[in-house]
Amino acid sequence: MKNVRQTIQLLAFFAVIILISSCSSKVTEPNPDSNSFAFEKDSKEYAKILATRSTTNDKEKFEIKEIKKEGDKLQIIVTGGCNINNYKVVWNGVILESYPAMINLVVVFQQSSEIECMAILDHTLELDLKKTLGEWYNPKDYHIIVSNGSKVADKLVDPDGNVSDTKKQ
Mind listing the pLDDT tens digit for each residue in 50-60?
A: 998 876 555 55
Domain membership flag for residue 89 = yes
Please tell me the predicted confidence (pLDDT) of residue 140: 77
* pLDDT exceeds cutoff 50 at 24: no
pLDDT in tens, 101-140: 899 999 998 876 656 667 778 999 999 988 888 877 787 7
Determine the straight-line distance between the first and last CA of the chain, rounded to whole angstroms: 70
Average pLDDT along the chain: 78
Please tell me the predicted confidence (pLDDT) of residue 74: 94
Domain enclosing residue 91, as ranges: 38-166
Please tell me the predicted confidence (pLDDT) of residue 27: 39
Domain membership flag for residue 11 = no
Whether the model pTM is above 0.75:
no
Q: Lowest-pLDDT range, 25-34, 48-57, 83-92, 109-118? A: 25-34
Is residue 107 within 8 A of residue 147, CB to CB? The reply is yes
Domains identified in the chain, total number: 1
* Whole-angstrom distance, CA of residue 125 vs CA of residue 85: 10
Domain membership flag for residue 25 = no
Label residue 32 by pLDDT band (50, 70, 90). Answer: very low
Residue, of 44 and 27, whose pLDDT is higher: 44
Q: What contacts 8, CB < 8 A, 6 or more positions away?
A: none
Please tell me the predicted confidence (pLDDT) of residue 35: 58
